Structure 1
Amino acid sequence: MTMSVQTETSAFEPSCPTSFNITTWAQRNCTAENVRRKFPITLWLPRYQCSWVQSDFIAGLTVALTVIPQGLAYAHLAELPLQYGLYSSFMGCLVYFFLGSSKDITLGPTAIMSLMVASYAEGDTTYAVALTLLCGCIQLGMGIFQLGFLVNFISFPVINGFTSAAAITIAFGQVKHVLGLQKIPRDFFPCVYYTFKNLGKTNLWDLLMGAVCFVLLLLLKWLKDVKWDSPDEIGYSPTRWQQAGRKIVWLIGTARNAVVVVSAALVVVALKSQDINVLTLTQQVQPGLPAFKPPAFTVHHGNSTETAGDILQGLGAGLAVVPLIGFLECIAIGKAFARQNNYRVDANQELLAIGMGNIVSSFVSSYPITGSFSRTAVNSHSGVKTPAGGLVTAAVVLLSLGVLTPSFHYIPQAALAAVIISAVLTMVDFRVLIKLWRLQKMDLLPLVCTFFGTFIGIEWGILAGVGVSVMILLFPQARPGMLVDNKDVLIFQPDRGLHYPGVDFIRTLLYDRALKEKPYRPVVLDCSHMASIDYTTIQGIKEVLEEFNRMRVPLSFAALKPHLQEVLTAADLPGFRCYATANEAANNIYEDGDPETNPYTPLLNAAQH
């Protein structure tokens, strides 16, 4: 079977290597090996062991207990009806089961994606679901064309500055719900202003509920991370009851969001039974499973209708920012846990997975999803063995949608706000400032620009950070290092290739050192470190040679690589001379044919006297 496929493939070899044959391309790329790589399930499922079922089940259930309260909270953050958080929590897990290259990653709503949905969809469910489909299509296209390398152009300082600023924005945006304030703007600076302005209108019951929930979340998180010490006795091992107790404590700490939200809801039920309505509750959650249908691209507002073009225009920069940040968040998480658990993730495969996950999720009214750090950590620490744990997570979320949605109305807004705040505060990392100050102060600039720019707008923060990073990256091209030998002949040795940003710098340097004062000094340009050159630089070299020739000052080149020498020779530069080494060029600087016709003879005579 395999041999026949190989024979057919070789039969379709094109006679001309530059021609494109769709049949040949398909047969070369649609091989069994490529299909297996694009569907990682075909690699791990045949090796699946029965002993892994328990680990995957426990991990999937634990993640589900985390994602249900988080989904409700994140939908609240995204300014969408709460059920949309659950709509976004199950389909990504199912798709990742087939396409994911990491055993740990779980796809679903995240704080940063929810913040961006609130920013670009502005509470409109049609915009949010349409953004999911478009985001998925862009990510899928990037994966097909293997554009995963683009994420490498976003440096660590930019990522750190963005996540820290986003976390602060998200956390402060939830303070209004802890205080029970109404009609507070979403944008950061107006939100800060009006929150402090309306402190006198604080609902003390909401404040008490939010504070208690936040303290409980911190306490349960500490409880989960407790390191149990065993007595220093040879052969000691904890009893079965001790092991069970520690496991229960760990499970309660891991599912702390669910524990706190359920406890807060029970408090509301108890208060309502006594006709006490003092807490601000969440909106009514629509019960039942979402309909499987393609996203709508029209919005009706009374007598007006917004078309697909209006939606695309309304989403604006979100069509670029959301897919990129979604992929960046997912691949950063995947690589972190891959290093920790000793395996590798494929960036392009992850693009395919989250792209297809967003596309399919849009058919169940999801808003954009990506990998979640907190739930991925829970999944990994729960001992998950394969992406099959996502099947359990999806099943539990679907069960909650079908059965539990009427109960979600009893959840206080302050409790959900506490869940969000406790989740995002860990994203703020100011320790990196000290590290960058010690190691590379220049990297503080893109971090600071991204951090403060994000408070103005998500896209502005990212653009500012990337722009500054690119400027720092290109600055050495505009100001290349230059080793200068100040003997009778000036020898300039650039430390890198010459490109158009540095043309004016090199030209000015040569003029200032060789032609500014008499007697003029001959120059050798040692190109031993040059590996490339561009057309603008060639034109600049031509102008420099013309100026040196006009002033009758010799300018020679040395140690040019063969391909660069061919390029400069073909450019027909006036007076172009090249030598094997800088010393040879310096020794022969005035020897150019007949002394009577050599324009540099006067300089030679002056040097000899």
Structure 2
Amino acid sequence: LKTTHTKMGEQRQTGASCLRECCSLDTLKKKLPILKWLPKYSFHWLQMDFIAGLTVGLTVVPQALAYADIAGLPVQYGLYSSFMGCFIYCLLGTSKDVTLGPTAIMSLLVSSYTFKDPHYAVLLSFLSGCIQMAMGILYLGFLVEFISYPVIKGFTSAAALTISFGQVKNVLGLHGIPQAFYLQFYYTFCKIKETRPGDVTLGIICILLLLLLKVMKGHMPKNQPETPSWVRLCRVVVWFSATARNALIVVSAGLVAYSFEVMGVHPFQLTGQTVEGLPTFQPPPFSETTVNGTTSFREMVKNIGGGLAVIPLMGILESIAIAKAFASQNDYRVDPNQELLAIGLTNIMGSFVSSYPVTGSFGRTAVNSQTGVCTPAGGLVTGTVVLLSLAFLTPMFYYIPKSALAAVIICAVLPMFDYRIFQRLWRVKKLDLLPFLATFLVCFWEIQYGIVAGVLVSSIILLYMLARPKAEVREDSCIIISFPKGAAQFPGCEAILTPFPSPTLPATPPRNVVLDCTHISSMDYTIVTGLQDLLQEFQMKKVSLFFCSLKPEILEVLLAAELEGFKQFDDVEAALQH
């Protein structure tokens, strides 16, 4: 009875300590990162965050309109998807630079799974957010590490070409071009004679101006103490124009199109009528009613299919990779699992305002960082700019030419195609070209199949390496066998046990064998069973097998197996002396 009371007391103490830890200020700060930086917030930070947030806001509005077109949705859905992440990430995000919103790659994936139906897109946002939230709560962020860098580069390079070529039809003003890449390629050249002069002229001019402004920003000299004030002012104007070049080009193109419309001339394809005002706050659609009947929630989920795996994983991968890159560049740390919670809650809450799935944007994050943002509060300004655009500017979206939006997309995504990766992979490790090429080529057929193909090839290579560890065999008074650093697991059983008989049993008289286990970090039951058979075979041939340099956890496994004839020493020298 006394022992029972003691145990109950210990359990109560443990429970109380866990409760105190869960409710502690440190835990609260970890789950709400805003509590770490808000008490230290200053007026200087406010100035820098306001400038950065405004600059990113002027970038996100034209990009959101363009990315909605990639997703196959009405342009207002791009803006619906652009503000919720700004507010939620301010509370939960661990990176000062990251901005969440629609991206080119995510929009392309959404178009593959939602059939250009806004109901499917919004539901997919909700379900993706739930999956990402669950992964964050269960600390499953490590799963994205199974997608190797060559697979990522193959996917982004193929996506960059697919998205860019998909916008050529808008630059040329063509109609009736299918969605599939190979059909786009064929029909674009078949219909090249139907090119509209006004669209192609405006599209090319917009592309050239965007490239010019980008080059100007990259080659702008730094201000020196002796630089005159008027020169400083001119450089600020040029820098701001180059940074907000997407907004500048889209507004200018819209004014040109409006001027022609007033004169009764229609040389451009326009965005057309856009739903005005802010989105209604309502639950995502769990069923859809059409002229053909009602599609239930189960049927909608079945129709989305593999998107429930691809969309959440790619959203996580893109966002966390961006967060880590800028955290390393700007000398701070991010929490991957907390990032999962932030992006998951963003997609869940975004679905209540008709958002499609979002993730971290590399281009806008770069703008945010370069503008000198100090905290995630810059997102509040960005989100406000988007809301103001929805509230007051949607009637003006009618006059935005599609060729101008296409130019913005092409200039945003084409730099993602890394042509130097072929040379780097060939020089560093030729075998990594296999998953890269598998992903790159298959992605032109279907994006999701390309990712699966790349992961599959990477896994086969990884398993082959695990199954074929190369043993080092050297001869002394005994045969000494050692293995490379790693785990002794079942795929490598045959390769691990093969070197033993060949150098020892044919010898006359047979020599003893020392197995150097210095680099073996773990061992499974299949390997133990193989060693047991090997010991029996050696005993029949009157050959002794000695184990040395065993780690405590390996020794515990081998002792638990009760191997007959098992002998172990602290190191190779002790085994040789014996």
1:460 aligned partner: 449
In the alignment, does 2:227 pair up with 1:237? yes
Deviates more, 1:269-278 or 1:423-432: 269-278
Question: Residues of 2 paired with 1:13 and 1:147: CA distance?
Answer: 34
1:225 aligned partner: 218
In the alignment, does 2:191 pair up with 1:198? yes
1:385 aligned partner: 374
Residue among 230, 241, 252 paired with 1:252: 241
Deviation at 1:20, TM superposition (A): 12
Q: Per the alignment, in what secondary structure is the counterpart of residue 279 of structure 1?
A: coil
Deviation at 1:307, TM superposition (A): 1.0
Number of aligned residue pairs: 572
TM-score (norm 1): 0.88
Sequence identity, in percent? 52
Return the letter of the residue paired with 1:42: L
Deviation string, structure 1 residues 204-235 (Cα, Å, up to 9, x no partner): 3222221111111111212222323679xxx6
Question: Residues of 1 paired with 2:552 and 2:332: CA distance?
Answer: 43
Return the letter of the residue paired with 1:557: F
Over 3 Å counting, the alpha-carbon distance change for 1:484 and 1:134 in structure 2 is same
Q: Per the alignment, in what secondary structure is the counterpart of residue 368 of structure 1?
A: coil
Q: Per the alignment, in what secondary structure is the counterpart of residue 456 of structure 1?
A: coil
In the alignment, does 2:333 pair up with 1:340? no
Deviates more, 1:44-53 or 1:512-521: 512-521
Question: Residues of 1 paired with 2:391 and 2:157: CA distance?
Answer: 36
In the alignment, does 2:427 pair up with 1:434? no
Question: Residues of 2 paired with 1:261 and 1:473: CA distance?
Answer: 47
Q: Per the alignment, in what secondary structure is the counterpart of residue 289 of structure 2?
A: strand
Alignment of 1:55-70 (within 5 A): 55-70=48-63
Question: Residues of 1 paired with 2:326 and 2:219: CA distance?
Answer: 21
Return the letter of the residue paired with 2:96: K
Deviation at 1:385, TM superposition (A): 2.1
2:3 aligned partner: none
Contact 2:471–2:499 (8 Å) recurs in 1: no
Q: Indicate the RMSD between aligned Cα atoms, in angstroms.
A: 2.5
Q: Per the alignment, in what secondary structure is the counterpart of residue 385 of structure 1?
A: coil
2:209 aligned partner: 216
1:530 aligned partner: 520
Determine which structure has more spread, i.e. the larger CA radius of gyration: 1
Return the letter of the residue paired with 1:259: L
Deviation string, structure 1 residues 427-462 (Cα, Å, up to 9, x no partner): 111223333333333333322222223223222222
Question: Residues of 2 paired with 1:566 and 1:100: CA distance?
Answer: 43
Deviation at 1:419, TM superposition (A): 0.7
2:407 aligned partner: 418
1:602 aligned partner: none
1:351 aligned partner: 340
Residue among 125, 131, 146 paired with 1:153: 146
Contact 2:162–2:181 (8 Å) recurs in 1: yes
Return the letter of the residue paired with 1:308: F
Over 3 Å counting, the alpha-carbon distance change for 1:453 and 1:521 in structure 2 is farther
Deviates more, 1:113-122 or 1:23-32: 23-32
1:115 aligned partner: 108
Deviation at 1:338, TM superposition (A): 2.1
Alignment of 1:96-107 (within 5 A): 96-107=89-100
Deviation string, structure 1 residues 549-573 (Cα, Å, up to 9, x no partner): 4444443433334443343233233
Q: Which runs of 5+ in 2 are unaligned?
A: 1-5
Contact 2:440–2:450 (8 Å) recurs in 1: yes
Deviates more, 1:129-138 or 1:483-492: 483-492
Return the letter of the residue paired with 2:554: L
Residue among 278, 281, 286 paired with 1:289: 278
Question: Residues of 2 paired with 1:278 and 1:116: CA distance?
Answer: 32
1:555 aligned partner: 545
Residue among 531, 555, 559 paired with 1:541: 531
Return the letter of the residue paired with 1:468: V
In the alignment, does 2:554 pair up with 1:564? yes
Deviation at 1:288, TM superposition (A): 1.0
Alignment of 1:292-303 (within 5 A): 292-303=281-292
Alignment of 1:308-387 (within 5 A): 308-387=297-376
Question: Residues of 2 paired with 1:104 and 1:243: CA distance?
Answer: 26
Deviation at 1:177, TM superposition (A): 1.4
Question: Residues of 2 paired with 1:383 and 1:488: CA distance?
Answer: 67
Contact 1:82–1:283 (8 Å) recurs in 2: no
Contact 2:67–2:104 (8 Å) recurs in 1: yes
In the alignment, does 2:86 pair up with 1:93? yes
Contact 1:449–1:465 (8 Å) recurs in 2: yes
Question: Residues of 1 paired with 2:189 and 2:175: CA distance?
Answer: 13
Contact 2:538–2:544 (8 Å) recurs in 1: yes
Q: Which runs of 5+ in 1 are unaligned?
A: 1-11, 589-609
Residue among 13, 21, 30 paired with 2:23: 30
Question: Residues of 1 paired with 2:8 and 2:329: CA distance?
Answer: 46
Q: Per the alignment, in what secondary structure is the counterpart of residue 228 of structure 2?
A: coil
Deviation string, structure 1 residues 562-592 (Cα, Å, up to 9, x no partner): 443343233233433334444554565xxxx
In the alignment, does 2:122 pair up with 1:129? yes
Contact 2:223–2:232 (8 Å) recurs in 1: no
Over 3 Å counting, the alpha-carbon distance change for 1:195 and 1:533 in structure 2 is same
Question: Residues of 1 paired with 2:16 and 2:575: CA distance?
Answer: 56
Deviates more, 1:491-500 or 1:216-225: 491-500
Deviates more, 1:220-229 or 1:166-175: 220-229
Over 3 Å counting, the alpha-carbon distance change for 1:69 and 1:561 in structure 2 is closer
Deviation at 1:129, TM superposition (A): 0.4
TM-score (norm 2): 0.92
Contact 1:60–1:392 (8 Å) recurs in 2: yes
Q: Per the alignment, in what secondary structure is the counterpart of residue 347 of structure 2?
A: helix
Q: Per the alignment, in what secondary structure is the counterpart of residue 175 of structure 2?
A: coil
Q: Per the alignment, in what secondary structure is the counterpart of residue 51 of structure 1?
A: helix
Deviation at 1:515, TM superposition (A): 4.1
Question: Residues of 2 paired with 1:539 and 1:439: CA distance?
Answer: 38
Question: Residues of 1 paired with 2:129 and 2:7: CA distance?
Answer: 35
Contact 1:14–1:21 (8 Å) recurs in 2: no
Over 3 Å counting, the alpha-carbon distance change for 1:20 and 1:505 in structure 2 is farther
Residue among 246, 265, 277 paired with 2:266: 277
Question: Residues of 2 paired with 1:161 and 1:20: CA distance?
Answer: 53
Deviates more, 1:206-215 or 1:381-390: 381-390
Question: Residues of 1 paired with 2:7 and 2:388: CA distance?
Answer: 53
Question: Residues of 1 paired with 2:138 and 2:236: CA distance?
Answer: 45
Return the letter of the residue paired with 2:495: F
Question: Residues of 1 paired with 2:326 and 2:86: CA distance?
Answer: 17
Return the letter of the residue paired with 1:428: F
Over 3 Å counting, the alpha-carbon distance change for 1:25 and 1:468 in structure 2 is farther
Deviation string, structure 1 residues 501-560 (Cα, Å, up to 9, x no partner): 111112333233334687755433232332321001111112223333444444343333
Question: Residues of 1 paired with 2:153 and 2:271: CA distance?
Answer: 32
Over 3 Å counting, the alpha-carbon distance change for 1:523 and 1:85 in structure 2 is same
Question: Residues of 1 paired with 2:323 and 2:343: CA distance?
Answer: 12
1:139 aligned partner: 132
Return the letter of the residue paired with 2:502: D
